[in-house]
Amino acid sequence: MNRRDLLVIGAGPAGMAAAAKAVKLGLTVTVLDEQPRAGGQIYRDVERAAKARGAMLGKDYVYGASLAAEMRESEIEYLSGSIVWAIEDGFRVSYTRDGSGAQIEADRILLATGALERPMPLPGWTLPGVMTAGAGQILLKQSGVLARRAVLVGTGPLLYLIAAQMVRAGTPPLALVETQTRSDFIRATRHLGGALRGWRYLAKGLTMLAAIQRAGVPRFTGATDISVEGQDRAEAVVFTCAGREHRIECDTVFLHHGVVPNVQAARSLDIPHEWRADQACFVPQLDGWGESPVAGVFIAGDGAGIGGAKVAEIAGRLAVLKIAEAAGRLSVKERDQRAAPLRRMIRRELAARPFLDLAYPPFAGALAPVDETIICRCEEVTAGDIRSAAKLGCLGPNQAKSFSRAGMGPCQGRYCGLTVTTLLAGANGQTADQTGYYRIRPPLKPVTLGELAAMSVTEPVGKE
């Protein structure tokens, strides 16, 4: 079997930058990413799309093409369309490519699997026509497909970015229904100092807002009681704002209230996680280089805690310094010298985060939804079902899963995990850390039995 010094999972900014750096330091590297094209979420399909729509998507997006090119031009083995579904000791990684299973071994692993949008369970969020805002952006970036009559619902800078991109594309959203309040902003101002140090982000935000305003897109802030109405598809968004109920008819609803680390791969390795109150999510325990308590497993990018594309890129390079040192390619002194400027850059990039986290907190109505709301999309389990499970003594998500089926569907809990933890913590009067998270097991993504069977080298392991 093919054995590499480093295996990178994920070809977003973190993975691409790390792989290019590792090769320069003399390591043998393979990159696996499930997407057919490099770029990750922010630079989705950047090599094709930058040519077609670079102007509309902005220069921050087009920048990603240089990372992709750098990765492509070096000695990296980049296997696109490779879905990683098991990581085992040794490290032995199993993945699916072109419908068949394959394995690769590596001394070290860098998980650069990025973020997911924070689940935003609202009444009606499972209707066709309701998508994540990131999905709306992917449609635009990758395919040049635009929603004609869309309402954006939620909060956060990404919501403005997408709105601005839609304005530039000539199909502005019908409205922005925003959940943050004035008092969130006031609370955030104590971090204004940091935000000013990260002024580039603020300036960008203000420019986007101005463009949205100029296009005449109505904005509602402090919205509550949000739901999506419709029979077989989304027909309208209903919400309360300043004491009044509003109803906006539309075809498409884009939801967003932040992104959270995609912890599936890290959890499957039993890497301990802890709750970060400021980002309202679990993050893996890592040292200053991104190495986890499972020696040899590193995590960089949004999967390590939300920092955005720039931080992801730099953190990928930083992790590689320790990996190279451990592999004998750098001395400890060289490693530390090279790390210092990277650490400074990360600090600068993160300066605006505390302000943003407080100014755009997740929507409370979706963190602990009303009983009737579906919270597990796959198995159609409601918030009330989880609260009932708590009454039957379920202290954590794994017990609740066996009673409610939440988390048993193909998405493996990606879009219900945090909600279930939050609901159980609330119902049992415990912290999120005490409550814990789903035990994630292979396969990280579904895999056909035929493919699995084809990887069987021996007779069945032994049966009754």
Ligand X SMILES: Cc1cc2nc3c(=O)[nH]c(=O)nc-3n(C[C@H](O)[C@H](O)[C@H](O)COP(=O)(O)OP(=O)(O)OC[C@H]3O[C@@H](n4cnc5c(N)ncnc54)[C@H](O)[C@@H]3O)c2cc1C
Binding to another protein in span 343-372, by CB under 8 A: none
Candidates 28, 30, 35, 142: give the one binding ligand X (CB under 6 A). Answer: 35
Choose the one of another protein, ligand X, none that binds residue 84, judging by a C-beta under 5 to 8 angstroms depending on kind. ligand X
Candidates 28, 30, 35, 382: give the one binding another protein (CB under 8 A). Answer: 35
Is residue 171 within 8 A of residue 147, CB to CB? The reply is yes
Choose the one of another protein, ligand X, none that binds residue 446, judging by a C-beta under 5 to 8 angstroms depending on kind. another protein
**Per-residue mark of binding to another protein, 98-117 (x: CB under 8 A):** -x---x------------xx
Smaller CB distance to ligand X: residue 37 or 246? Answer: 37
Comparing CA positions, the residue from 335, 306, 299 lying closest to residue 15 is: 299
Residues in region 121-150 near another protein by CB under 8 A: 126-132, 134-135, 138-139, 142-149
Choose the one of another protein, ligand X, none that binds residue 86, judging by a C-beta under 5 to 8 angstroms depending on kind. another protein
Q: In angstroms, give the least distance from the CB of 183 to ligand X.
A: 26
Smaller CB distance to another protein: residue 232 or 245? Answer: 232
Q: How many residues bind ligand X (CB under 6 A)?
A: 37
Candidates 94, 113, 268, 419: give the one binding ligand X (CB under 6 A). Answer: 113
Q: How many residues does the chain have?
A: 464
Choose the one of another protein, ligand X, none that binds residue 144, judging by a C-beta under 5 to 8 angstroms depending on kind. another protein
Orientation angle between helical segments 397-404 and 417-428, nearest 10 degrees? 110
Smaller CB distance to another protein: residue 205 or 436? Answer: 436
Comparing CA positions, the residue from 228, 224, 255 lying closest to residue 240 is: 224
81 by DSSP, 3-state: which? Answer: coil
Determine the Cα–Cα distance for residues 241 and 236; give it in Å rounded to an integer. 15
Candidates 134, 156, 407, 436: give the one binding ligand X (CB under 6 A). Answer: 134
Encoding tokens for residue 380?
Answer: 């159609």
Comparing CA positions, the residue from 348, 350, 417, 356 lying closest to residue 381 is: 417
Q: What residue type is assigned to position 420 of the chain?
A: V
| Cβ contacts of 129 within 8 Å, gap of 6 or more | 230, 233, 234, 235, 251, 252, 253
Residue 196's DSSP bridge partners are none
- For 266, half-sphere exposure in the C-beta direction (CA atoms, 13 angstrom radius) is 33
User: Does 279 interact with ligand X (rule: CB under 6 A)?
Assistant: no
Residue 131's DSSP bridge partners are 254
254 by DSSP, 3-state: which? Answer: strand
Determine the Cα–Cα distance for residues 199 and 203; give it in Å rounded to an integer. 6
Residue with tokens 């057919």: 36
User: CA of 72: how far to CAs of 67, 78, 214, 369, in Å?
Assistant: 9, 8, 40, 45
User: Does 259 interact with ligand X (rule: CB under 6 A)?
Assistant: yes
Determine the Cα–Cα distance for residues 53 and 33; give it in Å rounded to an integer. 23
Choose the one of ligand X, another protein, none that binds residue 342, judging by a C-beta under 5 to 8 angstroms depending on kind. none
**Per-residue mark of binding to ligand X, 288-327 (x: CB under 6 A):** -------------xxx----xx--x---------------
**Per-residue mark of binding to ligand X, 55-94 (x: CB under 6 A):** ----------------------------xx----------
Choose the one of another protein, ligand X, none that binds residue 372, judging by a C-beta under 5 to 8 angstroms depending on kind. none
Smaller CB distance to another protein: residue 2 or 143? Answer: 143
User: Does 462 interact with another protein (rule: CB under 8 A)?
Assistant: yes
Choose the one of ligand X, another protein, none that binds residue 9, judging by a C-beta under 5 to 8 angstroms depending on kind. ligand X
Residues in region 368-407 near another protein by CB under 8 A: 377-380, 392-399, 402-403, 405
Q: In angstroms, give the least distance from the CB of 170 to ligand X.
A: 19
User: CA of 207: how far to CAs of 150, 164, 179, 196, 202, in Å?
Assistant: 21, 9, 21, 15, 9
Candidates 1, 242, 277, 461: give the one binding another protein (CB under 8 A). Answer: 461
Q: In angstroms, give the least distance from the CB of 355 to ligand X.
A: 16
User: Does 10 interact with ligand X (rule: CB under 6 A)?
Assistant: yes
Is residue 148 within 8 A of residue 125, CB to CB? The reply is no
Choose the one of ligand X, another protein, none that binds residue 301, judging by a C-beta under 5 to 8 angstroms depending on kind. ligand X
Q: CA quadruple 421, 427, 428, 430: dihedral positive or negative?
A: positive
Comparing CA positions, the residue from 126, 117, 12 lying closest to residue 71 is: 12
Determine the Cα–Cα distance for residues 387 and 367; give it in Å rounded to an integer. 14
Smaller CB distance to another protein: residue 245 or 464? Answer: 464
Q: In angstroms, give the least distance from the CB of 203 to another protein.
A: 28
* List of residues contacting ligand X (CB under 6 A): 9-15, 32-35, 40-42, 83-84, 112-117, 134, 137-138, 158, 161, 259, 265, 301-303, 308-309, 312, 444-445
